[in-house]
């Protein structure tokens, strides 16, 4: 059987062809979930307490959630991590487990073990799942970059089918396409280059949504993008390009339900909240829901003193969410993790300098799972919302 034949077999049937090495890799990944004692994955206080961010947001008709990483449940603080989510959120986003890089680390592996663990945790605690993400021209394993254009197109189609066949009806929302924009790829259309753009051109986006709707008739389908929030040239480029993509998708009657704005805010960039609110109105006027999907604050340019930094982070959450939540098209707010030490910014800082003395503090909970001023700022932004 030739390579294309083998690839076809792997992907159409969604089977996992194990070589010995791949079998070891798959067992290792399943061990990551297996070593998390059942008590950890089952731990929790039931659906949110009345003063949780999830409950406060729900009072105003907004779903509050956070990205979740199954590997965190296998660590010493895994039970407390699990309990924080069980109490505080109504939705979890797969931070790693449903990415192509996690599901297909090698050509003959399609391993759902970690993703199954995430769905099991969500089912145990009655949490909605946001599947992140089916198609992304970044974070693509090297073996996929080595495919021919034709094979990459075939993989994209088969991947959407394989993932949604397995999880049909179990995720409330899917980030169908993530980050289609990348000005640094110097294309006239500002699109992110990559194997799936090469295969189908800009219409890989519409194709992905049409295919996702075919295999998942009920979930909300989202186009997720970064960097639209700032009052600078980059923000303007992203807002203009995203609106152009959305208008094309609307003209194509592509089944896009919502726009995900990642909202990775930063102490290093300027904001013009009325300008951003006007951008939200432009999206809403096109008929799309708006989900804030990866909210956190890079505090690296704020004062080093933790109390001063926490105050500045809280103020930025307050001002940003006050502007964003004034638009009734905004129906969900998701932070990118809940506690500082499990943030991607923490891991990025540690890998850059293991001896760093100033750890990032981007989120509503600190490394001991205590609420920070950011928690109160987010809670008060929900409480201050006009009734919907």
Of positions 10, 72, 88, 95, contacts ligand G3I by CB under 6 A: 95
Q: How far is the CB of 66 from ligand G3I (least distance, A)?
A: 12
Determine the number of helices (DSSP H) and then strands (DSSP E) in the chain. Answer: 16, 9
Choose between 276 and 344: whose C-beta lies nearer to ligand G3I. Answer: 344
The Cα–Cα gap between 95 and 104 comes to 15
Q: How far is the CB of 339 from ligand G3I (least distance, A)?
A: 13
CB proximity list for 104: less than 8 A, separation 6 or greater: 110, 141, 143, 144, 159
Tokens for 224, please give them. Answer: 């997720």
H-helix or E-strand spanning residue 295: strand 289-298
The number of residues that bind ligand G3I (CB under 6 A) is: 11
Of positions 14, 27, 47, 139, contacts ligand G3I by CB under 6 A: 139
Q: Can residue 262 be called a binding residue for ligand G3I (CB under 6 A)?
A: yes
Window of 91-99, 268-276, 326-334, 360-368 that interacts with ligand G3I by CB under 6 A: 91-99
Tokens for 204, please give them. Answer: 């890989």
Of positions 174, 288, 317, 344, contacts ligand G3I by CB under 6 A: 344
Choose between 88 and 179: whose C-beta lies nearer to ligand G3I. Answer: 179
Binding marks (x or -) toward ligand G3I, 142..181, rule CB under 6 A?
------------------------------------x---
Of positions 152, 156, 158, 226, contacts ligand G3I by CB under 6 A: 226
- The owner of tokens 């609420």 is 371
Of positions 88, 229, 294, 340, contacts ligand G3I by CB under 6 A: 294
Residue 354 CA, chain-centre distance (Å), reads 26
Supply angle C-alpha 308, 270, 229, rounded to 5.
Answer: 110
Tokens for 349, please give them. Answer: 């800082």
Q: Which residue is nearest to ligand G3I (CB)?
A: 344
The backbone region for 126, taken as left when phi is positive above 0, alpha when psi lies in -120 to 50, beta otherwise, is left
Write down the H helix ranges in 89-232. 100-103, 113-124, 142-145, 149-167, 195-200, 204-215
Q: Can residue 96 be called a binding residue for ligand G3I (CB under 6 A)?
A: yes
Q: How far is the CB of 335 from ligand G3I (least distance, A)?
A: 12
Separation of first and last alpha carbons in the chain: 59
Window of 37-45, 82-90, 95-103, 282-290 that interacts with ligand G3I by CB under 6 A: 95-103
Interaction site with ligand G3I (CB under 6 A): 71, 95-96, 99, 139, 178, 226, 262, 294, 344, 347
């Amino acid at each position: 059987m030739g390579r294309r034949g083998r690839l076809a077999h792997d992907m159409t049937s969604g089977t996992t062809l194990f070589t010995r090495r791949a079998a070891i890799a798959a067992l290792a990944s399943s061990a990551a979930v297996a070593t998390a004692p059942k008590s950890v994955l089952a731990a929790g206080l039931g659906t949110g307490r009345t003063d949780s961010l999830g409950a406060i947001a729900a009072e105003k008709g907004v779903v509050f959630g956070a990205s979740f990483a199954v590997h965190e449940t296998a660590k010493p603080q895994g039970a407390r991590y699990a309990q924080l989510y069980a109490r505080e959120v109504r939705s979890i986003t797969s931070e790693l487990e449903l990415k192509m890089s996690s599901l297909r680390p090698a050509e003959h592996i399609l391993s759902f073990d970690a993703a199954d663990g995430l769905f099991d945790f969500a089912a145990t605690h009655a949490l909605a799942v946001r599947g992140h993400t089916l198609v992304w021209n970044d974070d693509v394993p090297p073996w996929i970059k080595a495919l021919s254009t034709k094979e990459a197109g075939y993989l994209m189609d088969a991947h959407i089918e394989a993932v949604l066949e397995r999880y049909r009806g179990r995720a409330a929302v899917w980030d169908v396409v993530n980050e289609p924009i990348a000005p640094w790829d110097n294309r006239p259309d500002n699109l992110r280059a990559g194997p799936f753009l090469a295969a189908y051109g800009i219409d890989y986006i519409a194709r992905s949504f049409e295919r996702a709707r075919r295999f998942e008739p009920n979930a909300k389908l989202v186009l997720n993008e970064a960097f639209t929030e700032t009052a600078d040239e980059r923000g303007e480029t992203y807002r203009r390009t995203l609106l152009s993509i959305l208008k094309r998708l609307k003209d194509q009657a592509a089944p896009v339900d919502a726009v995900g704005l990642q909202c990775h805010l930063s102490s290093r960039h300027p904001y013009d909240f009325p300008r951003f609110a006007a951008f939200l109105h432009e999206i809403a006027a096109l008929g799309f829901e708006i989900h804030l999907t990866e909210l956190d604050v890079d505090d690296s340019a704020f004062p080093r003193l933790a109390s001063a930094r926490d105050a500045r982070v809280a103020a930025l959450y307050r001002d940003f969410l006050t502007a964003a939540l004034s638009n009734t098209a905004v129906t969900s707010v998701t932070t990118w993790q809940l506690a500082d030490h499990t943030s991607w910014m923490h891991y990025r800082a540690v890998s850059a300098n293991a001896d760093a003395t100033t750890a990032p503090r981007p989120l509503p909970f600190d490394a001991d799972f205590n609420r920070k001023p950011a928690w109160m700022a987010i809670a008060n932004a929900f409480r201050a919302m006009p009734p919907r």
